Structure 1
Amino acid sequence: MISSKTIKIAATGILCLAGAASLSAQFKTDQEFWNQPHITKTFAASYSMLAKTEPELAEEEQVIVKQVLEQLKLTNDKDAALKTILDALALNPDATAAFDFIAANFYAEKGDLKNAIKYYDSAAKKHPSFLRAVRNGAIMKVKEGRFEAALKDFTKAIELGAKDTTTMGLLGLCYVNTGKYFSAETAYREAIVLDPNVKDWQVGLAKSLLQQSKYEEGIAVLEQILVDDPENDILWSSAANAYLGLDDAETAVAIQEIVDRLGKSTPESLVFMGNIYMSRSLNDLALTYFQRAIKMDPKQDPSVYVSVAETMTARGTYDQAKTVIADVRSSFGDQLSDENSLKLLRFEAQIGLATGGGEKVIPILEKLVERDPMDGQALLLLAEFNSSKGTTDGYSRADLYFERATKVRAWEVRALISWARSYVSRERFGKAIPLLERVQVIDPQDHIGRYLDQVRKVYIASQGL
């Protein structure tokens, strides 16, 4: 027979919580994280009541708890045990908070987060100092991704006396996911003091440090973890980013090369390498990494590589840009949004104009304008190309496109300046002056002011005034 002094409230040790997004990548599965000893130990609490923080049981309530324990002992039928508790609560909704807590634990085991949180919150409401109900409810909310709500519960649990490694570590996780990185650092350090062997908290501490741009401290933590986990590509990549934050591109590249040699490169890490090499003007080498990244996952977001093509076009590395554009089309053709498709057409037009292939790209530009009559960039490129022909017909067409481009607010100033220069090249200085004056009204610029003065002087001289 179980005596009233040894009645134990059912706090399960099988609560395998799903990991939060910011940490899930550090483990093969979410289950792997939540099944770790330091997590399950927190839940595998004894069934004994804690006088200062948990509700006392009336005599008739003790009978029901005994019945539940006997059911579990004889058949381990947790559904039947849960029904017993729910029936008791149905008969008396104001019954002890212990009943709500037991029901919450059973629901947590079943993976029913909604009901688990409902009954943990109910238990805490009935008995505000019910520490385990508050803390377990917080952990369920972490599993559900409700970090703000979990943060409030963890704070209350600490006020009630909780100061175990899991409480402090998950508090840090909540702070990280709500952007409170300094507080996260403090919580993780406390969790590590309580248990220095938990890698999760060390990784969380490193993340909170890096988010605060404390790169050297973050690197020191990452290096400590990597001693025991040398093939963790995510940690290596984090270290590489930290070294980049210290403007140490050489070390950042070396670290990413390690990740690559481990065979654990991702599209993100390959793009990282490509960007580093591109910034150092090693364009052919950069291209190899971008191409590998594109081919690695046909379902990834092509916007990243559209941006790469844009950067290459702007830098004048046209051969590499054309290769990236071709690869993007072949790999992501069906996934390209209208916006990205138009961008690629613009880049091709810019490259064609810059490399003497203007006649070939005119149909592209005209197609862009046909799809969007307010495409200021395409209109301006058409205007400049026609102006560059130096023919009467070319100038006539150019003026029409320049005028249309000036009607597009975002391109108005650039179109006015380019149109004015076109007139200057034709020695039609009187036409250029009002255009430049308009620029100075819309967006005054010193160098345009000086250019305007020069054009005025030449105009006056040409008129013999």
Structure 2
Amino acid sequence: MNLKCSISSAVLLMIGTLAHAVDPLPVSKEFWKDPAFVSSFNGSYRINARIEPSLSGEERALLVKVQEEMKKGNRVNALKILQASDLTKESPALMFNVGNIQFELGKLEEAIEIFKAALKEYPSFRRAHRNLALCYVREDDYEKALPPILEAVSLGDQDGTTMGLLGYCYLQQEKYASALQAYRSALLTQPDVVDWKMGAAQCLGELNQMEEAEKLILEVTESKPDHVAYQLLLSDIQYRMGKMDASMAGLEWLRRKGLLPANSLISLGNMYVAQGDLRLAGELYQEVSKRIQPESYQAFLKAAEQVLHRQHWELAEMMLGLTKGWQLKGNDIQILSKRMTAILAVQKGEDRAKTLLDEILRMNPNDGEALLLMGTWYQSRKEYELAALQYERAAKLPEYAKRAYLNHGRMLVDQKRFEPALPLLRRAAEGETNANLAKYIKAVENLVSAN
């Protein structure tokens, strides 16, 4: 029996993309200081009589006092003046100004409540809807931000800030076409806002419009080369375009400047593995292990799993050695670690392999990977009945059925039991276009006919 072949077929391929997946970028800290946003927000202090409550003479007089304090930059005093007045309790316009100042002072919870109070009094108050949404965005709560943003848009708000934040909300919901449309609207009036360009680039990438996405990101990264999130997004887009060298160069540049996060360092190692440069990959994995945090343990173990799938046994063993002493929390990650250790043990023919697989199956009796490996283990010991039992158990799990039929069928062929092997191999081949498997089955059919 070809033990390496059996182990390879028993290892679950979970590579996906080798590049580190980039989550939707949050609104950057720089955005809140961007002149376009500041101008847009400060404009919300102005009155628009068509879509907001009118002001009495007393209210106007109070706002004159508030504006005098605002001109001095004394927002705390301005807030005190508003909150001390009985007029504010009944006036949605004054409530709105209280909310604005609280927002600027970072008192987001208070701002949210006062904006809601203003809207209760005056439901079509467009700027209150928009600024309520701004509070939620500032708290990274895009789900709550979306309804008031949509309400502001329905009331006629086409401001670049509003449309850009609408894009962010849609991006978080993976509504990429809608998000892209919103970002493009935002860029019409705020063409230099980096957040809108990067958001549009992410949408374009998700919509497989890679060339346009790359151009947009390059516009930004040329002026902001040290911005890690933007470089990572560029690397991800270039990887997906098949520009492996460019993608790796961007990650290497960040690495040499000490800016590459652990998960992206792991991804760079994965790319070196894909290119066959195991020495550099090993150096990267050793580097990341020295500063890895618990939240990156799973990504590291997934990388080791990829190395095992490619049968780079020495590198895989080195990587698993680096994980010794880690406190792995949660069944899934513990099972993953034990399974990989078991794969190496099976490959070496070590007795501890069965002990490890028994532990995994106690934790999860339906772990298909462990069942296939246990079958391989028994098969290597020529305990064919026990091996067949493991393959039969794995075949009941839809995700592992084809591999179980294939392993079982191959085992029977090794035993020269060609006739019972044939239906198992045929089931493994159902819906497949694997030419090598088809040739293998044809050879077994010929052997059955010959006998």
TM-score range, shorter chain: 0.7 to 0.9
In the aligned structure 2, how far is the partner of 1:199 from the partner of 1:75?
28
Give the one of 95, 102, 112 matched to 2:97. Answer: 102
Residue 283 of structure 1 corresponds to 278
Residue 400 of structure 1 corresponds to 386
Measured after TM superposition, the shift of residue 206 of structure 1 is 2.2
User: Structure 2: which amino acid aligns with 1:202?
Assistant: K
Measured after TM superposition, the shift of residue 117 of structure 1 is 2.6
Measured after TM superposition, the shift of residue 442 of structure 1 is 9.4
In the aligned structure 1, how far is the partner of 2:121 from the partner of 2:145?
19
User: Structure 2: which amino acid aligns with 1:399?
Assistant: E
Measured after TM superposition, the shift of residue 238 of structure 1 is 1.6
Give the one of 223, 231, 235 matched to 2:226. Answer: 231
Structure 1 contact 240–253 (Cα < 8 Å) conserved: yes
What is the SS of the residue equivalent to 1:334? Answer: coil
Measured after TM superposition, the shift of residue 419 of structure 1 is 5.0
Q: What whole-Å deviation, never above 9, does each CA across 1:24-77 have from its counterpart, x for those lacking one?
A: 485xxx4x4323332233232375533222222345655766787799899964
Q: What whole-Å deviation, never above 9, does each CA across 1:393-443 have from its counterpart, x for those lacking one?
A: xx4x4423432552342366655654565455455x4xx745755776798
Structure 2 vs 1, CA of residues 434 and 115 (structure 1 numbering), >3 Å: closer, same or farther? Answer: same
Task: Provide TM-score, normalisation by structure 1.
Answer: 0.75
Any unmatched runs of 5+ in structure 1? 1-20, 390-394
Measured after TM superposition, the shift of residue 387 of structure 1 is 4.1
In the aligned structure 1, how far is the partner of 2:321 from the partner of 2:42?
57
Structure 2 contact 328–334 (Cα < 8 Å) conserved: no
Q: What whole-Å deviation, never above 9, does each CA across 1:312-360 have from its counterpart, x for those lacking one?
A: 1121110011111111234xx21343333333333233233334x3445
Structure 2 vs 1, CA of residues 425 and 35 (structure 1 numbering), >3 Å: closer, same or farther? Answer: closer
Give the one of 225, 250, 265 matched to 1:270. Answer: 265
Tell me, yes or no, if structure 1 residue 54 matches structure 2 residue 52.
yes
In the aligned structure 2, how far is the partner of 1:380 from the partner of 1:49?
70
Structure 2 vs 1, CA of residues 224 and 245 (structure 1 numbering), >3 Å: closer, same or farther? Answer: same
Give the one of 293, 297, 304 matched to 2:292. Answer: 297
Residue 39 of structure 1 corresponds to 37
In the aligned structure 2, how far is the partner of 1:264 from the partner of 1:160?
44
What is the SS of the residue equivalent to 1:223? Answer: helix
User: Structure 2: which amino acid aligns with 1:324?
Assistant: M
Structure 1 contact 277–285 (Cα < 8 Å) conserved: yes
Structure 1 contact 416–436 (Cα < 8 Å) conserved: no
Structure 2 vs 1, CA of residues 414 and 201 (structure 1 numbering), >3 Å: closer, same or farther? Answer: closer
Tell me, yes or no, if structure 1 residue 84 matches structure 2 residue 70.
no
Task: Provide TM-score, normalisation by structure 2.
Answer: 0.77
Residue 361 of structure 1 corresponds to 353
Backbone CA RMSD of aligned residues: 3.7
Residue 10 of structure 2 corresponds to none
Q: Which has the higher contact order (CA 8 A, sep 6+)?
A: 2
Residue 236 of structure 2 corresponds to 241
User: Structure 1: which amino acid aligns with 2:142?
Assistant: F
Residue 312 of structure 2 corresponds to 317
Residue 344 of structure 1 corresponds to 337
Equivalent pairs counted in the alignment come to 418
Tell me, yes or no, if structure 1 residue 204 matches structure 2 residue 190.
no
Which shifted more, 46-55 or 56-65?
A: 56-65
Structure 2 contact 99–114 (Cα < 8 Å) conserved: yes
Structure 2 vs 1, CA of residues 361 and 217 (structure 1 numbering), >3 Å: closer, same or farther? Answer: same
Structure 1 contact 171–187 (Cα < 8 Å) conserved: yes
Measured after TM superposition, the shift of residue 213 of structure 1 is 2.1
Residue 308 of structure 1 corresponds to 303
User: Structure 2: which amino acid aligns with 1:337?
Assistant: G
In the aligned structure 2, how far is the partner of 1:374 from the partner of 1:134?
51
In the aligned structure 2, how far is the partner of 1:121 from the partner of 1:182?
30
Structure 1 contact 384–398 (Cα < 8 Å) conserved: no
Residue 11 of structure 1 corresponds to none
Measured after TM superposition, the shift of residue 290 of structure 1 is 2.5
Which shifted more, 361-370 or 136-145?
A: 361-370
In the aligned structure 1, how far is the partner of 2:392 from the partner of 2:112?
60
Residue 171 of structure 2 corresponds to 176
Rg (Cα) greater in structure: 1
In the aligned structure 1, how far is the partner of 2:102 from the partner of 2:377?
70
